[in-house]
Structure 1
Amino acid sequence: MGYHRAGFQVDGCDIADRPRYPFAYHRGDAPAYLAHLIDTGEIERYAFVHASPPCQSKCGLTVGTNASRGWGGTHVDLVGPTRALLDACGLPYVLEQPNGRAEIRKDLSLCGEMFGLGVLRHRNFELGRWAAPRPAHPRHRGYVRGHRHGVYRDGPYVAAYGQGGGKATVPEMQSAMGITWTDVREELTEAIPPAYTQWIGHAFLTARQEVFA
């Protein structure tokens, strides 16, 4: 949605069925689909690629709390294979992951407080074949509401992941991230706020204009 608001025509791909996805959509394995676009030359229809591989393999929550308590299952790390395809596609790209993933360059780090949102939701972005300025990271206004390590704290932000322990409700997540097109909890907990990609989209268009100016 953020890229759409920045002026892009958006095509999406996910292995799961996403009937609420508001743009053109291909259901399938995303790396395989990107490889198909490269092999057939269809990739030339596009100007830009954004990839958000599953983060569960090495994200802080999985390797920390979940691992220590024996929760969760086995997760495949797709960051390396995805980057290889992005490098092969020949287009400018963004590779997004949450904090805790040392395998990606932190060319850009965004936080909900930068956009006045009700979540912090720090995300890091590796930029391929282009660059963007790093926005200032404002000081957080307080805690994320909920229980953490057995202690409950109130605060101006909600936790848009998991359930229980003061975690955000579906309406709270929708409001905090600015997402209206889905009310599916799993989709909301996996999403990044569209304000992030709107900022990135504008930054990319500005960088491209400067190159051709």
Structure 2
Amino acid sequence: MDYEVRPVRADEWAAVRELRLAALRDPDAPLAFLESYEDAAARPEAYWRERTERAAEGSGSARQFVAVAPDGRWVGSVTALVERRGAGVVFGETPEEDQTHLVGVYLQPEARGAGVAQKLMWAAVVWSWSLTDPVVRRVRLYVHERNGRAAALYRKVAFRPTGRTVPVEGEPGALELEYEMRRPVVCAGDFGPLGL
């Protein structure tokens, strides 16, 4: 099956909400997300509208990508958040350089194993590399130490562990592991979308 991967549009807040709630009902949600289904379901329409507008095509601080099945169903999503050097962040250490942080990675079970997750991740990475203000040289994400399926996906896409960790709130002794991908150095004469 051929899935389209594209940025969300500002008017698609209801679909963004529906996919997020599906993600939070997934059995691995406690390992993958910092939000509960109950908290997300209780949020008002205005919250979802604003969230979607911020992550929609054309926004400079975030971009959400979705995977859409041929029948129009949304089957996956990832969001890239721009983090400025020295500025506070929602999660993890304050960045020493301009970067993006991938969050909300999710794929419906029926779409798993078909390369859709990799397409989503690459869409977010390519968007990150395309930014000119700021120029992003690093993309990072975090994965719960017990979420082996997600860690395997990130390694497959070429993310590597940095050795940095963040304690999991409410789970003593558990850690979120930071993974990163560095922007490749592009030289004159290089070809391809990432200079490879």
Q: Same fold (TM over 0.5)?
A: no
- TM-score normalised by L of structure 2: 0.29
For CA contacts below 8 A with separation 6 or more, give which structure has more relative contact order.
Answer: 1
- TM-score normalised by L of structure 1: 0.27
- Of Structure 1 and Structure 2, the greater helix share is in 1
